[in-house]
Amino acid sequence: MAVREKVQMVLDTEVDTAYPQRWIGKVTVQTSDGRTLHGRVDEPKGDPGNTLSRQEITDKALRLAAYGSQVPAEQARHAVARLWQVALWPRVTGLLA
Protein backbone atom coordinates (compact mmCIF):
# COMPACT_ATOMS: atom_id res chain seq x y z
CA MET A 1 0.00 0.00 0.00
CA ALA A 2 1.34 3.46 -0.94
CA VAL A 3 2.20 5.88 1.86
CA ARG A 4 -0.36 8.40 0.62
CA GLU A 5 -3.09 5.84 1.20
CA LYS A 6 -2.01 5.55 4.83
CA VAL A 7 -2.01 9.31 5.53
CA GLN A 8 -4.98 11.21 6.84
CA MET A 9 -5.23 14.94 7.56
CA VAL A 10 -7.43 15.98 10.45
CA LEU A 11 -8.36 19.51 11.47
CA ASP A 12 -6.70 20.38 14.77
CA THR A 13 -8.37 23.25 16.63
CA GLU A 14 -5.17 24.37 18.37
CA VAL A 15 -3.25 24.52 15.10
CA ASP A 16 -6.11 26.19 13.27
CA THR A 17 -6.69 28.93 15.85
CA ALA A 18 -2.97 29.67 16.26
CA TYR A 19 -2.59 30.42 12.54
CA PRO A 20 -1.32 32.83 11.17
CA GLN A 21 0.54 34.04 14.28
CA ARG A 22 2.08 30.58 14.77
CA TRP A 23 2.56 27.71 12.34
CA ILE A 24 2.30 24.75 14.70
CA GLY A 25 2.83 21.31 13.20
CA LYS A 26 1.59 18.06 14.73
CA VAL A 27 1.82 14.46 13.59
CA THR A 28 0.64 11.15 15.01
CA VAL A 29 2.05 7.91 13.63
CA GLN A 30 0.81 4.39 14.23
CA THR A 31 3.68 1.94 13.80
CA SER A 32 3.35 -1.54 12.38
CA ASP A 33 4.07 -2.94 15.86
CA GLY A 34 1.09 -1.10 17.33
CA ARG A 35 2.79 1.88 18.97
CA THR A 36 1.41 5.41 18.61
CA LEU A 37 4.04 8.13 18.30
CA HIS A 38 3.35 11.85 18.53
CA GLY A 39 5.44 14.74 17.24
CA ARG A 40 5.02 18.47 17.48
CA VAL A 41 6.81 21.55 16.18
CA ASP A 42 5.89 24.91 17.65
CA GLU A 43 8.25 26.92 15.45
CA PRO A 44 8.96 25.26 12.12
CA LYS A 45 12.47 25.40 10.74
CA GLY A 46 12.82 28.61 8.76
CA ASP A 47 10.45 30.67 10.92
CA PRO A 48 11.93 33.75 12.64
CA GLY A 49 12.20 31.91 15.97
CA ASN A 50 13.89 28.89 14.38
CA THR A 51 15.95 30.29 11.54
CA LEU A 52 18.00 28.37 9.03
CA SER A 53 21.76 28.57 9.39
CA ARG A 54 23.86 29.92 6.54
CA GLN A 55 24.86 26.35 5.65
CA GLU A 56 21.23 25.17 5.68
CA ILE A 57 20.24 28.02 3.35
CA THR A 58 23.14 27.18 1.02
CA ASP A 59 22.29 23.47 1.05
CA LYS A 60 18.61 24.18 0.37
CA ALA A 61 19.42 26.50 -2.54
CA LEU A 62 21.70 23.86 -4.08
CA ARG A 63 19.08 21.11 -3.62
CA LEU A 64 16.46 23.29 -5.31
CA ALA A 65 18.81 24.07 -8.19
CA ALA A 66 19.59 20.37 -8.60
CA TYR A 67 15.90 19.47 -8.51
CA GLY A 68 15.14 21.82 -11.38
CA SER A 69 18.03 20.34 -13.38
CA GLN A 70 18.41 23.55 -15.38
CA VAL A 71 21.63 24.82 -13.81
CA PRO A 72 24.83 22.77 -13.63
CA ALA A 73 25.92 22.06 -10.03
CA GLU A 74 29.14 24.06 -10.28
CA GLN A 75 27.32 27.08 -11.70
CA ALA A 76 24.74 26.86 -8.89
CA ARG A 77 27.50 26.67 -6.24
CA HIS A 78 29.20 29.71 -7.77
CA ALA A 79 25.91 31.67 -7.88
CA VAL A 80 25.13 30.89 -4.23
CA ALA A 81 28.66 31.88 -3.17
CA ARG A 82 28.29 35.17 -5.07
CA LEU A 83 24.87 35.78 -3.60
CA TRP A 84 26.26 35.62 -0.06
CA GLN A 85 28.29 38.71 -1.04
CA VAL A 86 25.34 40.67 -2.48
CA ALA A 87 25.51 43.32 0.28
CA LEU A 88 28.94 44.30 -1.06
CA TRP A 89 27.83 44.68 -4.67
CA PRO A 90 27.63 48.26 -5.94
CA ARG A 91 24.82 47.12 -8.27
CA VAL A 92 22.81 43.90 -8.31
CA THR A 93 23.26 41.98 -11.58
CA GLY A 94 22.27 38.59 -12.93
CA LEU A 95 23.60 35.55 -11.12
CA LEU A 96 23.50 32.95 -13.87
CA ALA A 97 24.53 34.98 -16.90
If asked whether residues 30 and 8 sit together in one domain, one would say yes
User: For 46-90, how does the pLDDT look when each residue is reduced to its tens digit (9 = 90+)?
Assistant: 888 899 999 999 999 899 888 877 888 899 999 899 889 888 888
If asked whether residues 40 and 14 sit together in one domain, one would say yes
If asked whether residues 45 and 56 sit together in one domain, one would say no
Please say whether the beta carbons of 39 and 26 come within 8 A: yes
If asked whether residues 35 and 62 sit together in one domain, one would say no
pTM for this entry: 0.60
Please say whether the beta carbons of 61 and 46 come within 8 A: no
Task: Compute how many other C-beta atoms are within 10 angstroms of the C-beta atom of residue 50.
Answer: 11
Quote helix, strand, coil % in the chain, to nearest 5: 45, 10, 45
Q: Which run of H or of E encompasses 7?
A: none
If asked whether residues 34 and 56 sit together in one domain, one would say no
**HSE, side-chain direction, 13 A CA sphere, residue 97:** 5
Task: Provide the residue range defining the domain that includes 43.
Answer: 3-49
Instruction: Quote the number of domains for the chain.
Output: 2
